[in-house]
Amino acid sequence: MNVLVKPGSIPPNAPSRKLFSVLDDNGQADPETDPKLELALVRRMYEAMMRNRLLDVRLMKLQRQGRIGFHVGSEGEEAAIIASAAALREQDWIFPCYREIGAALYRNFPLQSYMDNMFGNVNDLAKGRQMPDHVTARQAHFTSITAPIGTQITQAAGFAWAAKIKHQDVVTASYFGDGATSSNDFHAGMNFAGVFQLPTLFLLRNNGWAISIPSEHQSRSRTYADKGLAYGVPGVRVDGNDALAVYAITREAVQRAASGGGPTLIELCTYRAGPHSSSDDPNAYREAMDSEEAQKRDPVKRLRRHLERLQCWSEAEQLAFEERVNAEINVCVEKAEAAAPPSIASMFEEVFEHMPPHLAQQQAQCVDGPRTRKRH
């Protein structure tokens, strides 16, 4: 798809402290920065964002009902995640944090496979060994989500280094939050990428909070984009609640990386509208008025207003879409909940490519061993 992206938005030697944006709060596009995307692409991004929002609402209810154990949502951050994923090319690889399931779904990862992971059933690709929301989708070029903070940053840099050595046309993108900039992996990944001019993107979601730590208490840098300067990595700040702006800057960074221009640090300024996870109560550490103010810039509503301005979306389409997505979710939940749990034998499978004799012996002993009368 040929998409017009105005070059020069990413500063070559120093970070820009100006927030790059396209849409105002009412969905009006600035003609100076508008990437002029095809309407089919804009609609697809909106539908993916809205689908993700409906999915988050349902999964939080399931957790509160005790039907799943945990959920990490992305309410308020859909544009930062999905629009950036949309700007990547098919061959590019995503190294996610733990809120980016919307990126995998955008790349056609089956919703049923995701729901199986949420229930940890026999069909779960991780065989119930991972927490809910910790998926992997190799077919979508979406690597395994892991809980430790920042580990995906060095993994993305290493993958990009391998691609460069092999002369492969691949760009990697690692997602992480503002809190992860305090991790060792952030320094190691940024430094390595800068030194070797790797084809990788550092997609920093500055959503205001690292659980209960506000972003302004995380760093003394004037902006998070400034952090790239010490590593020789250009940094740019983007309105992360503006899907068109996120797409435009990410696409430019991809083109720059693919042509040998090296890495880019993109600070996606957004807001975590919901809790950090289903285990968190944000009312304990942030003011309700802050959340209310931030929700005026809701990324889903903002992109919908833009489509409505272009007469490409209507209330009837919205209602029909929500009904269709909710029905899809209901079917996936029903199937996932009805599926059996993973077998005891599966604990020993896919640990090695070829199971060694000692592990096979342990598997047999475990399967044939005594069972408790009551299920734990």
Catalytic residues: 272, 276, 285
Q: Among 162, 9, 35, 18, which residue's Cα sits nearest to residue 87? A: 35
CB 253 within 8 A of CB 200: no
Where are the alpha helices (H) located in 96-137, listed in sequence order? 101-106, 111-119
Residue 166 CA, chain-centre distance (Å), reads 27
Beta bridge partners of 267: 204, 237
Amino acid at 37: L
Beta bridge partners of 137: 142
CB 111 within 8 A of CB 324: no
Between CA 32 and CA 75, with CA 5 as vertex, the angle to 5 degrees is 85
Q: Among 343, 348, 369, which residue's Cα sits nearest to residue 358? A: 348
Could you tell me the two tokens for 265?
A: 């640090």
Tell me how far apart the alpha carbons of residues 85 and 103 are, in angstroms, rounded to a whole number.
6
Between CA 151 and CA 161, with CA 157 as vertex, the angle to 5 degrees is 145
Q: Among 176, 156, 158, 184, which residue's Cα sits nearest to residue 98? A: 176
Tell me how far apart the alpha carbons of residues 193 and 226 are, in angstroms, rounded to a whole number.
16
CB 243 within 8 A of CB 303: yes
Tell me how far apart the alpha carbons of residues 207 and 177 are, in angstroms, rounded to a whole number.
7
- The H or E element containing residue 125 is none
Could you tell me the two tokens for 73?
A: 């949502």
Could you tell me the two tokens for 190?
A: 């940024």
Tell me how far apart the alpha carbons of residues 39 and 376 are, in angstroms, rounded to a whole number.
52
